[in-house]
């Protein structure tokens, strides 16, 4: 769920930011007060970077790095006012970590790390902290010593942790204003709990509360906003506070209320914004909200069928906003008529089929915004809106409106600003239906079936309309010049996914003010020269032409557009880009030409683009990359990123006459280069920072090939088959920090191979053929991370470690042939935090092997046949938090004296029992993997020693019985896996009932599974079911309705699932639900499979890895009406069909069109930026089918069209027999036609 607060605030400076002196991968900016702003985002750092002594820092962000510890006196000698260390791996913070900035540090963000307790001792030196974010850690208990913060701390965020009770110590924080405890494990709030007297905002959403926390209202005298969303409260009876309570917000959504009694809080409260959405309310009585004085009320996603005519008594002149969307209202409740001051009314997705003239009596003079979308209206409700003369926003989308008459929008519509008519049944627009909507600025007609439009239909919108969207809606071969010619004020025009095949050169001449044009997914094959070069076209900022049929870009196609910033033309059929295609575009930033068929780019194709920042050419057929294509492009202050990956590039010739070009990031991966592009690199050396040459055919690197790349920071040459590297290959790469050489065939490295890399911090040599390393190969490098996994090393390269010991933090040696370690092996790397020796030949490990590794946090010894005295072995590494002993031949659990351990893997051993003594020192353990052993019972005798255990995996053991005692003592357990228990003959219904905080369960299918889950109904959110047999029949969870967010079904033998398996889920699901049926033998899915779930706001269906050759639309839509009413919104979360043997035939056409519409309708891809659009398109294209036209090659389903397969209506007959086959055939035909497949125009879809 979305948090009630902005938990992650990133203030990254962009204006005049430059590479920092201490690390050029970070950016720095100095403000007017000479304070520095520092941002190190997604930089692979292993320690906090050192900044010059005496620096005053306003904001410092170190985000998404690999930092695990924060040492004493970081940034000693600097003064930091705001420090944000979000989304790292921090688990340990030293006591004096923030001491040097203790007097000035006011904001500290440690969210999304791995802290298991509040580092209060580290905060003791901070004198003026007022903003603290600890959200997204593993904190279980709040300690009492907050005295040093009690007079300064104002905002505290500690959500998404493991707290089981409301921290009573917070009452001593005298200045606390905001407290967030969302997404913890809080089950109750005791009556004696007090909140700070200054607390204004409190959020305890997504916990396990079953009763309303009345004490919080009574003691919080300043409390103004209370969020209790997504808990388990079932009733609100007898909630009477001992004082008058005045709240701005009370969010009670996503609970289990089935009723709401009148005069709630005994008439002693005022709630201006009341959220009761996503409960189970079926009716509301008279005076239901009397005394609350609510201004805004949210009642969406309930089961309301009607309201008492006196429901809103007491709010007649107070209530301004009312949300009743997604209920079961068959008519406009008469109670609404009493609301004389109502301005915003939302009635979407009910069962309204007609409106009466009196429906809005009483609200007509005040109503500003009205939504009636998703109902069954067949006409514009003109009579009902006759007196709504102040209406400015009207949503009539997703109804059954067949026509718009000239008198439908009468004088009442004169102030309409926004009109939404998408997804109706409009076939034509005749006359001047908008003659009275003279103030209309935004109009949507998308997802209709419009075949005729009068030339003057928009005449009356000439000076007002700014946004027009007709996606999947109007079927004209030519760009509708005449229809649009009147719209002089149009700024935003969306005409994607229609049948437009040609755009006249003067198409845009009348649209003088146009800023955004979207013509994606049409049939445009030619753009005339000068199409976008009208002298009046001065404001165009973005043009989208993706997914058309363009074969070339002519000269001056885009020229002299003074304001253009982004042009996207991906996934066309362009073979050649002509000279001056992009000419004199002073503000152009981004061009996307990816996934065309480009073989050649002519000289000067990109000419006069001084601010060019990004060019995407990946996925084409280029054989050469020539810089002559760029003339007067880019600038030195903001160099561009060039992506030419996944082409056929063999050469990168450089002509002496080329003009300078500044490239910061160059991606040449997945090409056919046999040698390094030396001349090209020399040509762009001054600006190049990141170079990617992965998946080419480079077998050797010669001396000095990178000699001029003094600013290069990242170099990646993986998967090339490289066999040798010259000793001076990396000479002069003085700024290089990250070097990836994995996946090659390197057998030997020269002495001092990397000695000329004074800033090298990260080195990967994984998956090569190294058998040894010279002792000085890493001399002179400040290496922090080295990956030598999957080589042929016979011993740990101790000499190498000697040269990196002062800085090395991560050492990965998995998958080698190392058979010996001892007390001297790691003696020279005292700062090592992460060590992997997995999958080697180790047997005996001496007791003193890890002596001196006092900073070790993660140790992986898996897949070695070990013999060791673990008690003595781990004596020297008391700070280890993650230990992997998987597949080490253990027959009994060893004693593990590791008091800091939080994660332990003992999988794939031969354990028959777990000794209690082995767990005595593991009180902080949170994750325990015991799967794939020989346990015959759950080791419940040990659970009391693991009070913090959060995740437990007992899968693939010969366990015979599971009872209520099997998990006794695991009162914090959140994730349990008990799958593939082949010997299990007893699983008691109440076995999980004591696991009150259990959030996810992975188990095998059993006939009583529904009862087992229901016994733990109050907590389980994610359910994974493994099916051993070939059939799955009956409901998974019966009708208990847990708040499931994810249901996953797997089983390699599974061939059949019953249509009823998801019955019962609809009672408890919340905002989103993902249904997964993955990696089975299923070839076909039943009709109406998703019928119980059609009301889920964001439903997703994941069918990855099955045996589907086609997909029946009846699996998703019960009939054509369901499709018409919902479109792709029925699966707003997406439909995923990766790794299925789908066949590209006519029966699959509907799915291709569905995926394209989903991008536009559910994802709203037309509003996303270029990078987000590419990601969304990639997601939709993950489903592929075998193309018979191309020898069975896999092509994206989203890319197939009827003309590609020469489909006719008769070809869409589908499979099956009897009524189901007929129904399937009919629905496929209807879907295809409604999605603009004009080949099926002869089929009647309006009669079932």
- Indicate if the pLDDT at residue 608 is higher than 60: yes
What b-and-e string marks burial along 1163-1201, b requiring 16 or more CB atoms within 10 Å of the CB?
Answer: bebbeeebeebbebbebbbbbbbbbeeeeeeebbbbbbb
At 917, phi and psi to the nearest 5?
A: -65, -30
- pLDDT tens for residues 797-837? 988 898 898 999 999 999 999 999 999 999 999 999 999 99
Please compute the mean of the pLDDT values over residues 749-761 and round it to a whole number: 94
Most confident of 13-17, 47-51, 592-596: 592-596
* Beta-carbon-side half-sphere exposure of residue 706 (alpha carbons within 13 Å): 30
Q: How many CB atoms lie within 10 A of CB 171?
A: 18
pLDDT at residue 543 tops 60? yes
Confidence of residue 1041 (pLDDT cuts 50, 70, 90): low
Predicted confidence (pLDDT) at residue 262 exceeds the cutoff of 80: no
Sorted by where each starts, the structural domains of the chain and their CATH numbers stand as 702-880 (3.80.10.10)
Q: Tell me what pLDDT residue 3 has.
A: 42
pLDDT at 410 over 70: yes
Q: What is residue 338's three-state secondary structure? A: helix
| pLDDT surpasses 60 at 1245 | no
Q: How, if at all, do strands 663-667 and 576-577 pair?
A: unpaired
- On the question of pLDDT at 1040 being above 70, the answer is no
Mean pLDDT of 98-118: 95
- Classify strands 1184-1187 and 1193-1196 as parallel, antiparallel or unpaired: antiparallel
pLDDT interval class at 217 (50, 70, 90): confident
pLDDT at 660 over 90: no
Q: pLDDT at position 214, please?
A: 86
pLDDT of 973 > 90? The answer is yes
pTM: 0.92
Distances (CA, A) of 840 to 470, 582, 796: 62, 56, 11
The pLDDT of residue 939: 96
Percent of the chain with pLDDT over 70: 95
pLDDT of 56 strictly over 90: yes
Q: Residue 582: in which H helix or E strand, if any?
A: strand 582-583
Instruction: Kindly state the tokens that stand for 66.
Output: 């690999």
Cβ count within 10 A of residue 1008: 12
Tokens read off for 1007: 């006939």
Q: Which two tokens stand for residue 580?
A: 């001056």
Instruction: Supply the mean pLDDT for the chain.
Output: 91
C-alpha dihedral sign at 215, 218, 219, 224: positive
DSSP class of residue 791 equals: S
State residue 990 phi and psi, 5-degree precision.
-90, 15
Note the pLDDT of residue 1231: 52
3-state class (DSSP) for residue 1160 = helix
User: pLDDT grade, residue 1039 (50/70/90)?
Assistant: low
| Local confidence band at 1208 (pLDDT 50, 70, 90 cut-offs) | low
Strand order in the sheet with 606-609: 558-559, 582-583, 606-609, 630-633
The reported pLDDT for the residue numbered 4 is 40
Mean predicted confidence (pLDDT) in 387-405: 96
According to the model, what pLDDT value does residue 1063 have?
85
Residues 6+ apart with CB under 8 A from 440: 416, 417, 418, 419, 434, 461, 464, 465
Whether residue 1038 is predicted with pLDDT greater than 80 in this model: the reply is: no
Residue 160 CB contacts under 8 Å (≥ 6 apart), including other chains = 135, 136, 137, 182, 183, 184
Residue 1 has pLDDT above 60, yes or no: no
pLDDT at residue 1220 tops 60: no
Please tell me which residue, 58 or 261, carries the higher pLDDT value. 58
Beta bridge pairs of residue 297: 274, 322
pLDDT at 1098: 93
Tell me the pLDDT tens digit for each residue of 848-871.
999 999 999 999 999 999 999 999
Token reading at 474: 């109007």
Torsion, Cα 832 837 843 849, to 10 degrees, reads 0
For the stretch 125-173, pLDDT in tens is 899 999 999 999 999 999 888 888 999 999 999 999 999 999 888 988 9
Q: What is the pLDDT of residue 1029?
A: 93
pLDDT digits (tens, 9 = 90+) for 193-203: 888 999 999 99
DSSP 3-state of 1135 = strand
CB 684 within 8 A of CB 707: no
Interval 264-323: pLDDT, tens? 777 778 999 999 999 999 999 999 998 899 999 999 999 999 899 999 999 999 999 999
Span of 86-95, 533-542, 907-916, 951-960 with lowest mean pLDDT = 533-542
Residue 820: strand, helix, or coil = coil
DSSP 3-state percent helix, strand, coil across the chain (nearest 5): 15, 20, 65
When mean pLDDT is compared across 14-18, 326-330, 401-405, 441-445, the lowest value belongs to 14-18
Averaged pLDDT, 59-64:
96
Please check whether residue 514 is in contact with residue 537, taking contact to mean a CB–CB distance below 8 angstroms.
yes
Alpha-carbon distance of 686 to 669, in angstroms, equals 21
- Residue in 447, 484, 487, 445 with CA at minimum distance from that of residue 464: 487
The pair of structure tokens assigned to 1000 is 């996810």
Average pLDDT of the segment spanning 691-719: 96
* Average of per-residue pLDDT across 359-384: 96
Structure tokens at 886: 């998987």
> Is the confidence at residue 406, as pLDDT, over 80?
yes
Say yes or no to pLDDT of 1086 above 50. Answer: yes
pLDDT at 1202 over 90: no
Percent pLDDT > 90 in the chain is 75
State pLDDT tens for residues 1046-1076.
999 999 999 999 999 998 777 766 788 999 9
What pLDDT, on a 0 to 100 scale, did the predictor assign at position 1228? 52
């Amino acid at each position: 769920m979305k948090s009630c607060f902005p938990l992650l605030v990133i203030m990254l400076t962009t204006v005049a930011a430059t590479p920092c002196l201490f690390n050029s991968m970070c950016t720095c900016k100095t403000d007017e007060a000479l304070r520095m702003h520092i941002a190190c985002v997604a930089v692979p750092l292993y320690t906090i970077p050192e900044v010059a002594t005496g620096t005053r820092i306003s904001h410092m962000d170190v985000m998404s790095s690999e930092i695990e510890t924060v040492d004493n006196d970081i940034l000693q000698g600097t003064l930091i006012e705001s420090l944000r260390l979000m989304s790292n791996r921090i688990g340990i913070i030293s006591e004096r970590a923030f001491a040097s900035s203790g007097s000035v540090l006011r904001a500290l963000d440690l969210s999304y790390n791995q802290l298991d307790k509040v580092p209060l001792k580290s905060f003791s030196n901070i004198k003026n902290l007022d903003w603290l974010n600890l959200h997204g850690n593993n904190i279980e208990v709040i300690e009492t010593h907050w005295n040093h913060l009690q007079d300064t701390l104002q905002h505290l965020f500690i959500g998404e942790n493991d707290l089981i009770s409301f921290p009573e110590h917070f009452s001593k924080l005298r200045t606390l204003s905001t407290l967030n405890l969302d997404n913890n494990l809080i089950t109750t709030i005791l009556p004696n709990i007090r909140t700070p007297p200054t607390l204004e905002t409190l959020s305890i959403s997504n916990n396990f509360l079953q009763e309303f926390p009345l004490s919080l209202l009574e003691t919080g005298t300043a409390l103004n906003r209370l969020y209790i969303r997504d808990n388990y409260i079932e009733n609100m009876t007898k909630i009477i506070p001992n004082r008058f309570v005045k709240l701005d917000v009370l969010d009670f959504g996503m609970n289990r209320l089935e009723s709401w009694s009148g005069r709630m809080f005994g008439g002693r409260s005022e709630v201006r914004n009341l959220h009761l959405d996503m409960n189970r309310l079926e009716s509301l009585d008279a005076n239901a909200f009397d005394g609350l004085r609510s201004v805004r009320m949210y009642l969406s996603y309930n089961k309301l069928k009607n309201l008492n005519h006196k429901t809103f008594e007491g709010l007649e002149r107070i209530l301004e906003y009312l949300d009743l969307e997604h209920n079961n209202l068959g008519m406009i409740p008469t109670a609404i008529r009493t609301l004389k001051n109502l301005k915003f009314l939302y009635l979407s997705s009910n069962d309204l089929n007609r409106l009466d003239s009196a429906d809005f009596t009483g609200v007509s003079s005040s109503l500003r915004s009205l939504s009636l979308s998703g109902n069954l209206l067949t006409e514009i409700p003109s009579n009902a809106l006759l007196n709504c003369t102040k209406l400015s926003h009207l949503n009539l989308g997703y109804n059954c409106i067949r026509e718009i008459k000239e008198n439908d929008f009468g004088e009442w519509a004169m102030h309409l600003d926004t009109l939404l008519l998408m997804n109706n049944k409009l076939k034509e627009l005749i006359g001047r239906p908008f003659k009275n909507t003279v103030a209309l600025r935004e109009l949507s007609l998308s997802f209709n079936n419009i075949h005729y439009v009068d030339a003057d239909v928009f005449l009356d919108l000439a000076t007002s309309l700014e946004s027009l969207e007709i996606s999947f809606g109007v079927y004209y071969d030519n760009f509708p010049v005449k229809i649009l010619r009147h719209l002089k004020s149009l700024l935003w025009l969306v005409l994607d996914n229609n049948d437009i095949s040609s755009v006249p050169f003067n198409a845009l001449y009348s649209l003088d003010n146009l800023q955004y044009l979207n013509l994606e997914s049409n049939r445009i094959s030619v753009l005339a020269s000068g199409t976008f070069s009208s002298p009046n076209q001065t404001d165009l900022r973005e043009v989208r032409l993706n997914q058309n049929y363009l074969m070339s870009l002519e000269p001056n196609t885009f020229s002299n557009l003074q304001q253009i910033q982004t042009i996207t033309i991906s996934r066309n059929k362009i073979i050649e880009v002509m000279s001056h295609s992009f000419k004199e575009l002073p503000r152009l930033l981004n061009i996307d030409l990816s996934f065309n068929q480009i073989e050649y780019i002519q000289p000067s194709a990109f000419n006069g683009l001084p601010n060019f920042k990004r060019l995407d050419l990946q996925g084409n057929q280029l054989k050469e990359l020539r810089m002559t294509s760029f003339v007067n492009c880019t600038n030195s202050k903001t160099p561009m990123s060039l992506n030419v990956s996944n082409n056929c590039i063999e050469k990168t010739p450089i002509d002496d006459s080329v003009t300078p070009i500044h490239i910061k990031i160059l991606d040449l991966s997945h090409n056919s280069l046999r040698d390094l592009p030396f001349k090209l690199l020399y040509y762009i050396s001054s600006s190049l920072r990141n170079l990617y040459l992965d998946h080419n055919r480079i077998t050797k690197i010669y001396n000095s090939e990178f000699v001029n790349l003094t600013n290069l920071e990242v170099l990646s040459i993986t998967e090339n088959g490289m066999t040798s590297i010259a000793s001076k290959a990396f000479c002069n790469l003085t700024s290089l920090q990250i070097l990836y050489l994995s996946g090659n065939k390197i057998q030997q490295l020269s002495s001092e191979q990397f000695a000329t890399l004074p800033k090298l911090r990260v080195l990967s040599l994984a998956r090569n053929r190294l058998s040894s390393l010279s002792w000085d190969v890493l001399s002179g490098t400040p290496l922090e991370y080295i990956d030598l996994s999957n080589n042929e090393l016979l011993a740990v390269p101790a000499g190498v470690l000697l040269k990196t010991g002062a800085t090395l933090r991560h050492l990965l040696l998995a998958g080698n042939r190392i058979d010996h370690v001892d007390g001297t092996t790691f003696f020279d790397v005292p700062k090592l935090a992460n060590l992997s020796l997995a999958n080697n030949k180790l047997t005996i490990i001496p007791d003193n092997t890890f002596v001196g590794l006092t900073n070790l946090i993660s140790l992986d010894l898996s897949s070695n046949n070990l013999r060791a005295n673990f008690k003595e072995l781990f004596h020297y590494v008391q700070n280890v938090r993650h230990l992997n002993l998987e597949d080490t031949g253990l027959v009994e659990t060893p004693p593990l004296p590791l008091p800091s351990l939080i994660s332990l893997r003992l999988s794939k051993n031969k354990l028959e029992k777990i000794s209690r003594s082995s767990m005595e020192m593991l009180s902080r353990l949170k994750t325990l993997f015991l799967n794939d052993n020989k346990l015959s019972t759950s080791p419940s005798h040990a659970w009391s020693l693991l009070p913090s255990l959060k995740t437990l995996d007992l899968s693939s053991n010969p366990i015979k019985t599971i009872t209520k005692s099997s998990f006794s003592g695991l009162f914090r357990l959140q994730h349990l896996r008990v799958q593939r228990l082949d010997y299990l003959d007893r699983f008691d219904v109440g076995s999980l009932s004591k696991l009150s905080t259990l959030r996810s369960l992975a188990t095998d299918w059993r006939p009583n599974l529904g009862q087992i889950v229901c016994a733990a109904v109050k907590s389980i959110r994610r359910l994974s079911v493994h099916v051993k047999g070939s059939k799955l029949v009956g409901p998974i969870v019966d009708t208990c309705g847990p708040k499931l967010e994810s249901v996953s079904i797997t089983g390699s033998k599974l061939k059949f699932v019953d249509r009823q398996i998801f019955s019962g889920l609809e009672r408890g699901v919340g905002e989103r639900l993902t249904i997964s049926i993955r990696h089975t033998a299923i070839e076909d899915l039943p009709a109406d499979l998703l019928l119980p779930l059609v009301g889920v706001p964001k439903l997703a269906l994941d069918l990855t890895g099955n045996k589907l050759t086609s997909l029946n639309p009846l699996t998703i839509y019960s009939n054509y009406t369901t499709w018409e009413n919902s479109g792709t919104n029925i699966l707003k979360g997406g439909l995923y069909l990766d790794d299925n043997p789908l066949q590209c035939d006519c029966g699959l056409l509907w799915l291709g069109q569905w995926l394209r519409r989903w991008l536009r309708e559910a994802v709203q891809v037309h509003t996303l930026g270029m990078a987000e659009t590419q990601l969304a398109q990639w997601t939709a294209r993950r489903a592929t089918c075998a193309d018979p036209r191309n020898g069975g090659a896999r092509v994206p389903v989203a890319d197939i069209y009827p003309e590609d397969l020469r489909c006719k209506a008769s070809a869409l007959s589908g499979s099956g027999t009897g009524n189901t086959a007929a129904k399937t055939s009919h629905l496929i035909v209807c879907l295809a036609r409604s999605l603009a497949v004009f080949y099926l125009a002869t089929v009647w879809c309006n009669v079932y």
